């Protein structure tokens, strides 16, 4: 594939010129059926890099403070889709990264699959990732090297499940039903924290879930702690989440986390006119304020 070839060429060039010490990209797993992150340090290994609709991971995860070992490998280049590139903007906003610390290999993307096991050679409205259905960043908003030509923006997955529609429908239901909906999901939570581990914006040195004294969030996998955990995580991602969709994909018990995160994204956009990840200037909306913020709910 053309893009794949160009990607390998660029990776080789960067490694050979020592501009970077490491290229983080996608590669085949041992059995050649699934895609996983690969870390290429030698120019002769660049052919391991691949690009196809199974490349779902948000690889910016590996350039956060969560991965000191990756940091120790030197200056990285990271393959980013449009959605992933937005993460970089938020990381810059939050002082986690300087733009010059990373080389971004932006790759125009026409949609990835929701789960790799659903892929059968084609991205369809049945197997597409929900973020791709409403995607407006097929071409990365920031990059150092664009791999291949840009593609036309706009979604082509008519009839696919639309997250905003689902949120709207949920909004319309009576409170009791919404509560039941979420409790049914949250009760299943096994508190494995896969959502947190895969999220590039959940980079806390010590997660609030692991803070005792006081233990705000019960650690056992019970309704009480599960609700507190999921609400707190949603709240902390509000105005920051770039909808890479990784948390929902990683969740072993299929909690529809995209719904709750995107609901808050909608609230933040409506209320503060802020869409995370589109620029690196400014601050996350919940640490600033405007005198004009609405207060129709305050007595």
Partner 1 sequence: MEEKGWEPRIVAFVCNWCTYAGADLAGTSRLEYRPEVRIIKLPCTGRIDPLFIIKAFEKGADGVLVSGCHPGDCHYTSGNYHARRRWIVFRELLKFAGIDLRRVHFSWVSASEALKWRDLINEVIETVRSAGPFEAYRRLNP
Partner 2 sequence: MARIGVFVCQCGNNIASTVDTQKVAEEMKKIPGVVYTQDYKFMCSAVGQELLKKVVKEHRLDGIVVAACSPHMHEKTFRKACEAAGLNPYRCEIANIREQCSWVHHDKTKKTGTLKSTDLTRMTIERLKKNKPLKTINIPLKKKALVIGGGIAGIQAALDIAESGYEVILVEKEPSIGGHMAQLSETFPTMDCSQCILTPKMVELSMHEKVRLLTYSEVEKVEGYIGNFRVQIRKKAKSVIEDLCTGCGECIEKCPFKADSEFEVMKGHKRKVIYVPFPQAVPNIPVIDREHCPKFLKDKCGICAKVCGPKAIDYSQQDEIITEEVGAIVVATGYDLMPVESFGEYGYGRIKDVVSGLYFERLASASGPTGGEIRRPSDGKVPETVVFIQCVGSRDPKRGVPYCSKICCMYSAKHTMLYKHKVHHGQAYVFYMDIRSGGKRYDEFVRRAIEEEGAVYLRGRVSSVYERDGKVIVEGADTLSGTQVEIEADMVVLATAIVPRKGAKELAQRLGISYDTYGFYNESHPKLRPVETNTAGIFLAGTCQGPMDIPDSVAQGSAAASKVISLFSREDLVREPILAEVDERVCNACWDCYYACPYSAIEQHPLKGRDGSIVRWVARVNEGACQGCGVCVAACRSKAIDLKGYTDEQVYAAINALV
What's the Cα-to-Cα distance from 190 to each of 57, 180, 227, rounded to whole Å? 22, 18, 12
Task: Tell whether residue 168 is a contact of partner 1 (CB under 8 A).
Answer: no
- Name the one residue in this structure whose structure tokens are 């609709």: 53
Query: What is the distance between the alpha carbons of residues 157 and 136, in angstroms, rounded to a whole number?
Result: 13
- Rounded (10°) CA dihedral 119, 245, 175, 268: -150
- Name the one residue in this structure whose structure tokens are 């980079």: 203
Residues 31, 214, 281, 292: which binds partner 2 (CB under 8 A)?
214
What's the Cα-to-Cα distance from 21 to each of 8, 47, 51, 103, 109, rounded to whole Å? 15, 16, 21, 11, 25
Compute the C-alpha angle 253/255/257, nearest 5°: 140
Q: What's the maximum distance between 2 C-alpha atoms anywhere in the chain?
A: 66
Compute the C-alpha angle 92/111/26, nearest 5°: 65
Task: Tell whether residue 158 is a contact of partner 1 (CB under 8 A).
Answer: no
Residues 180, 190, 192, 253: which binds partner 1 (CB under 8 A)?
180
Task: Tell whether residue 218 is a contact of partner 2 (CB under 8 A).
Answer: no
Query: What is the distance between the alpha carbons of residues 285 and 278, in angstroms, rounded to a whole number?
Result: 13
Residues 28, 203, 272, 278: which binds partner 2 (CB under 8 A)?
203
Give the x-and-dash track for 259-298 against partner 2 (CB under 8 A). Answer: ------------------------xx-xxx----------
Residues 18, 65, 125, 294: which binds partner 2 (CB under 8 A)?
65
Give the x-and-dash track for 267-296 against partner 1 (CB under 8 A). Answer: xx--xx------------xxxxxxx-xxx-
Residues 17, 212, 220, 273: which binds partner 1 (CB under 8 A)?
220
Cβ 79 vs Cβ 26: under 8 Å: yes
Sign of CA dihedral 127, 128, 129, 130: negative
Query: What is the distance between the alpha carbons of residues 209 and 103, in angstroms, rounded to a whole number?
Result: 33
Task: Tell whether residue 207 is a contact of partner 2 (CB under 8 A).
Answer: yes
Q: Nearest distance from residue 86's CB to partner 2, in Å?
A: 17
Q: Which residues pair with 38 in a beta bridge?
A: 25
Nearer to partner 1, 29 or 215 (CB): 215
Task: Tell whether residue 118 is a contact of partner 1 (CB under 8 A).
Answer: no
Nearer to partner 1, 31 or 289 (CB): 289
With CB under 8 A as the contact rule, which of the stretches 59-67, 169-177, 194-202, 246-254 interacts with partner 1? 169-177
Task: Tell whether residue 158 is a contact of partner 2 (CB under 8 A).
Answer: no
Task: Tell whether residue 299 is a contact of partner 1 (CB under 8 A).
Answer: yes
Closest CA to 24 of 14, 118, 33, 289: 14
Instruction: Pick what 207 binds: partner 2, partner 1, none; C-beta below 5 to 8 Å, kind-dependent.
Output: partner 2
Residues that bind partner 2 (CB under 8 A): 65, 94-96, 203-208, 211, 213-214, 216, 236, 283-284, 286-288
Residues of this chain that interact with partner 1 (CB under 8 A) are 170-171, 175-183, 208, 216-218, 220, 222-224, 226-228, 231-232, 234-235, 238-239, 260, 263-264, 267-268, 271-272, 285-291, 293-295, 297-299
């Amino acid at each position: 594939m053309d893009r794949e070839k160009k990607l390998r060429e660029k990776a080789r060039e960067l490694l050979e010129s020592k501009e970077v010490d490491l290229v983080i990209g996608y590669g085949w797993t041992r059995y050649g059926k699934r895609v996983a992150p690969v870390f290429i340090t030698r120019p002769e290994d660049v052919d391991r890099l691949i690009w196809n609709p199974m490349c779902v991971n948000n690889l910016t995860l590996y350039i956060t403070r969560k991965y000191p070992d990756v940091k120790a490998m030197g200056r990285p280049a990271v393959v980013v889709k449009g959605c992933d590139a937005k993460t970089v903007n938020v990381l810059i906003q939050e002082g986690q990264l300087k733009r010059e610390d990373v080389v971004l290999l932006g790759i125009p993307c026409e949609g990835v699959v929701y789960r790799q096991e659903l892929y059968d050679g084609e991205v369809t409205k049945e197997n597409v990732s929900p973020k791709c259905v409403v995607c407006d960043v097929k071409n990365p908003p920031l990059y150092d090297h664009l791999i291949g030509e840009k593609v036309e923006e706009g979604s082509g997955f008519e009839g696919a499940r639309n997250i905003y529609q689902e949120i709207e429908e949920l909004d319309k239901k009576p409170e009791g039903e919404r509560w039941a909906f979420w409790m049914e999901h949250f009760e299943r939570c096994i508190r494995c924290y896969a959502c947190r581990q895969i999220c590039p914006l959940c980079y806390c040195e010590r997660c609030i879930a692991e803070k005792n004294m006081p233990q705000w969030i019960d650690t056992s996998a019970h309704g009480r702690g599960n609700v507190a955990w999921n609400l707190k995580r949603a709240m902390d991602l509000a105005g920051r989440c770039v909808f890479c969709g990784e948390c929902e994909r990683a969740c072993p018990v299929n909690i529809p986390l995209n719904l709750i995160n995107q609901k808050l994204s909608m609230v933040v956009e409506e209320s503060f006119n802020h869409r995370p990840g589109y620029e690196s200037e400014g601050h996350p909306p919940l640490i600033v304020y405007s005198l004009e913020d609405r207060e129709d709910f305050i007595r």
